A and B are shown apart, each in its own frame.
Chain A
Amino acid sequence: DAGVIQSPRHEVTEMGQEVTLRCKPISGHNSLFWYRQTMMRGLELLIYFNNNVPIDDSGMPEDRFSAKMPNASFSTLKIQPSEPRDSAVYFCASSLDRSGNIQYFGAGTRLSVL
């Protein structure tokens, strides 16, 4: 299995631009998680889905952030408009079971907002 696949690996954009991050979970996994990692705040859970349905989005920082999971094999995290403080590494993870106890992470997308 190819594991969790994220794209792009690196994104550099200017403040105010729209950014879309993409994730393909491991086939057969029914839970998907979006995280953000920074030096200051560590690894933070933004939102997670179970069977393509958003379950908990309490970690989404602002209305500028939105996430979708149109099918079991694809999810997006969108930031519009982007701000410099959004600069971070964004990880997607998937889990086989609803408990989400064992998660497999992608390699992440490093976002820089200038």
Chain B
Amino acid sequence: TQLLEQSPQFLSIQEGENLTVYCNSSSVFSSLQWYRQEPGEGPVLLVTVVTGGEVKKLKRLTFQFGDARKDSSLHITAAQPGDTGLYLCAGAGWGKLQFGAGTQVVVTP
């Protein structure tokens, strides 16, 4: 059983469309992170959110941490083929990370 539930599991969209990926948990984390993983590579950290209600923007990516620090969302505006990848959320606590199963995003030209 995953401590962090991500949805949807798979998302296929056309270039230029928007998308949102969700990460939910019944546990409270000291911080939550989003990673992107491309085929044949390890996950790469995109952002860390720490404060409940926090919103961070990274170019076309917007990350939000829920007020209760149990959930988070990642929104991509005007998706591009380079955004294709496996998006993983991870909750931090007790010196380690708990990862969700990931959302596979495919952006076609």
Contact = CB atoms under 8 A, between A and B. Distances in A.
B45 A108 contact: no
B95 A98 contact: yes
Contacts of A55: 95
Contacts of A4: 42
Contact of A108 (B2, B41, B96): B41
A42 B54 CA distance: 27
A50 B94 CA distance: 12
How many A residues are at the interface, by size bracket?
20 to 34
Interface stretch (A11-19, A67-75, A99-107): A99-107
B43 A100 contact: no
Contact of A42 (B41, B44, B92, B99): B99
Contacts of B40: 107-108
Contact of B97 (A42, A50, A103, A106): A103
Interface in A85-114: 91, 93, 98-108
A93 B44 CA distance: 11
A9 B47 CA distance: 27
A1 B102 CA distance: 28
A100 B97 contact: yes
Contact of B96 (A91, A100, A106): A100
Contacts of A108: 40-42
A43 B95 contact: no
A43 B109 CA distance: 29
A4 B97 CA distance: 18
Interface of A: 4, 31, 33, 42-45, 48, 50, 55-56, 91, 93, 98-108
9 contacts: A33-B97, A42-B102, A43-B88, A48-B96, A50-B95, A55-B95, A93-B42, A105-B43, A107-B40
